[in-house]
Structure 1
Amino acid sequence: MEGLQIAAVLRELPELPRATLGWRFPAEDTAVLALAGGPELVLRYRPPSPELALARRAGGGGPRTPFQKQLAARARGPLVRAEQLKLDRVVIFEFGGEDGFVEVPPTRLVFELTGRNANLILTDLEGRILGVDRPVGPEQNRYRQVRVGLTWTPPPPYEKLDPRTLAGPEALRPLVGRPLARALVRHVDGLGPRLAREVARRAGLEPEREVGEADLEPLARALAEVMADPTPSEDVSAPSWREETAAALRKPLLAALERRRATLLRRLDDFARARADAGKAERWQRFGDLLLAYAHQLPPGAERAVLEDWESGEPVEIALDPALSPSANAQRYYRRARRARARAERADREEAAVRSEIAELEREIERVRTLPLAELQRRHREARRQTDAPVGLRRTAPGGFEVRVGRNRKENDWLTRSARSEDVWLHAQGVPGSHVILRTGGKSPPLEALLYAARLAAYHSKARGEKNVPVDYTLKKHVWRPKGAAPGEVLYTQAKTLFVDAEPPEDA
């Protein structure tokens, strides 16, 4: 979302200050603020496509993450101010707070719609950070950190032409001699690559051409039009937050169906090979008969034999395993023949059912591609309930926290993929071992629970029995499986290390 588009949304806000009716949360990366007597303000803060929008009924329920709980509790009272910094992709919302039995002081909510660095930050009126959706430490950015307790600082200042105050076409003279689209992005505030191309289109100019003196007047007119209505007229428009949420929910459903379909297609290939091998079964059976009939004539250790087929009178060459006797080689060919016939019979028996299942899967894939958001959410909840089945060892850490321990690659992969973003992931440092998940439920686990889980990680690793074993731990959201990696192989960041003895806790 680009600066002029953000400004257009803020222009549509009803007059402030205005009472608010609370927060709702349709997803872990989406917050909806209901305004009294007006539309709902939708803040979608997932990188790399954050969005600010107004909606009538955006849906949603209670908080889903610790930050959302904090947002609902502390960003309260009337919305007194909504300010965009210049035409940059940063908006500050100020809330007046609430009086009552529990007083809620005024706060500010900073929405940084800055692509892959998008973030939502809660501060007090002095700018001290109270909460943040995506903390930024020195590992991610040495120059600008965003963490609780620090003071929020705006992005670095810049100097660009403000299209709201341009004094005619002459103000665009710095663009002359430069490639049009790139010059607009570099010199005019509020324009990104998409709106820059839109300005060029409305001016009737090619985005890559160099700007000439004669282009300034049509450019000024087109820029004024885009300021009034920054909706790109290209065929491909930016997806709304609902469309992106639906796409995110649809993707794993389609992936599971496609995986099953690929498995069944491979099974059809297996059936075709089985039928091809069935034609060899009679030949292998004949090899076994000939080897038994001429076994007394074959020398030990032979690698092949040439025997006369008594039915055709033709010589037949047969490959042998020199480590086996002639009768054992015959039994080997008989087993080949039996397996080939059995596979062919299975292919004949199962192919119709497999083809029927493939046809139904293809119909289901088409249905899922058109499912509405509500049905996708229902299916997602159902899938979560099914994947909550007991996989891995289950233990209870001090404080009542559940701990899961993977016992093989498949369980390691499943536990890590199914863990929630605020769960704690642990693994013995530098040695093969189990993935351990400490389920936090959005709470901060005590040290005793972390040590308990760390001992399980050390015990269920190649370091079992050793003393002072390092165990790394980090939040699940900082753990990912690289593209092409085997199940259970992951990378992780922002880890800390505990040193424990690789012995099981007393109750494990």
Structure 2
Amino acid sequence: MTDLVARDLQSLADQGEDPAELLTVFRQQCLAGDYRFGIALYEGRRLPSAFRPQALPLEDWQPFETANALVESITGGDARAESGFIERRLLEQALAKGRKKLTRRLKKIEQEERQAGTFEKQKICGELLLANLHRLEKGMRAVELDNYYEDPPVAVTIELDPLLTPQENAERYFRRYKKSRRGLDHLKRRVDETHEEQRWLEQLALDLDEAVTGVDLREIAEELTDAGFLPRQSRSVDPRKSPSLKDRVRKATSPSGFVLYWGRNPRTNDYVTRQLTTAADLWFHAHNIPGCHLVLKREGRSEVPDEDILHAAAVAAGYSRGQNDTRVEVMIADGRAVKKPKGARPGLVTVDRFRTVRVAPIRLPEE
């Protein structure tokens, strides 16, 4: 499902259509091959689609009889352009598979967490045994004790190893507790890592929407390949040297003349944050949604007018997943507060201190 189709279905749902019914009809159309190929002019962008949007306010719709005719129109018969068009589809599929993979992983971890969540019971059993050693003897297979951790206390049956002494049985439960506790801590780390991967994938999805050149597509493909979400044989190889990261960064000027730099994908975002941002500069990013890293260069100027801060925030919002929203919340931080964790993927950072503003998104012509 392309972003255009997803937005159209969301618009229909917002108008009162049943979401489940919409997805059922969409699935039936796909299975039946009931396509309506065309190019939508939407928000100033030409977007190819296998289905004509029903609810989105299109500026134009150019229909085509077949998928080949659609591709031919986009590429102009140029093999290199056609390759890029096809690669975009491959990247969209890789992102969709990646999302499903991470969702399945989270569900599996949740199941393991529920199983490991009984570790506190192991600890209680050990403590109850220690408190009642005088009632235990080696050779016992079980014992019924009052669980004084409950109010009022309730009887609980604790299984014992008849080959162990009472003290050894208590220690066995404490070992189980420590092992389960370590396992649960590991599961929590895996949850955090998976959520981080999900945020990274959503950032790549935004970058793919913004991609306009073969270089953009190649860089996204490299990111997905390095992360294991795209087989290496699926990557198209272009022998031409890619432009430097410096040349790929977007640049503009604020109303008072401050220079703004912002990235177009994880690697250029990394470059903006790690190479172009100093401790005194101001750093911007849409809050809690995928978006670019943007820096406002102070260049020795102590004060930055509110007009320039709000302008920079609006640009950061305009190059985020919230670009079509009326208002977007944007983080503002000093450069010194932005750090990249060791081993983190490109474009992923932590921000120690920040404030937020709500602004209307804007997009600018690049300098």
TM-score of the two chains, using structure 2 as the length reference: 0.31
Higher helix share: 2
Structure label with greater radius of gyration? 1
TM-score of the two chains, using structure 1 as the length reference: 0.24
